[in-house]
Amino acid sequence: LKDAPKLKASGAAAADLKAAAIFEQMKARLSPDMVKKVNAIFQWNITKDGKVAGTWTADLKNGTGSVYGGAAKEKAGCTLTISDDDLVQLVAGKLDAMKA
């Protein structure tokens, strides 16, 4: 991933979020097959200290898919708001998704 372009998320503190690395990994793992199977757009609002500090979108509906910083360009079918720390714990398998 060192050669991959860095994602820019909306929000002043977005660059300081641990979630940025997670979205970089998501972008690297996109595939046309994934887009075909999922067929949805997800918007992630990442919070820090109770306020939204960054927003990313995973478009797994259009073209070959994309992950980008900022709000969804088309209406998201699912919007998730989660703290930066909880997202890291969730992805690491240390937090139950039903409790996040």
Q: What is the pLDDT of residues 63-73, one digit of tens each?
A: 999 999 999 99
Q: How confident is the model at residue 5 (pLDDT cuts 50, 70, 90)?
A: very low
Query: Could you tell me the pTM of the whole model?
Result: 0.83
d(CA 28, CA 25): 5
Exposed e or buried b per residue across 53-89, where buried means at least 16 C-beta atoms within 10 angstroms of its C-beta: bbbbbbbbbeeebbbbbbebeeebeeeeebbbebbbe
Structure confidence at residue 10 (pLDDT): 56
- Mean pLDDT across 1-15: 49
Q: Token pair for residue 8?
A: 């820019």
Q: Token pair for residue 18?
A: 């641990």
Q: What is the pLDDT of residues 54-99, one digit of tens each?
A: 999 999 999 999 999 999 999 999 999 999 999 999 999 999 988 7
Q: How confident is the model at residue 14 (pLDDT cuts 50, 70, 90)?
A: low
Residue 83 β-bridge partners? 47
Alpha-carbon torsion (93, 100, 97, 88), positive or negative: negative
Whether the CB-CB separation of 49 and 83 falls below 8 Å is answered with: no
- Mean pLDDT across 21-41: 96
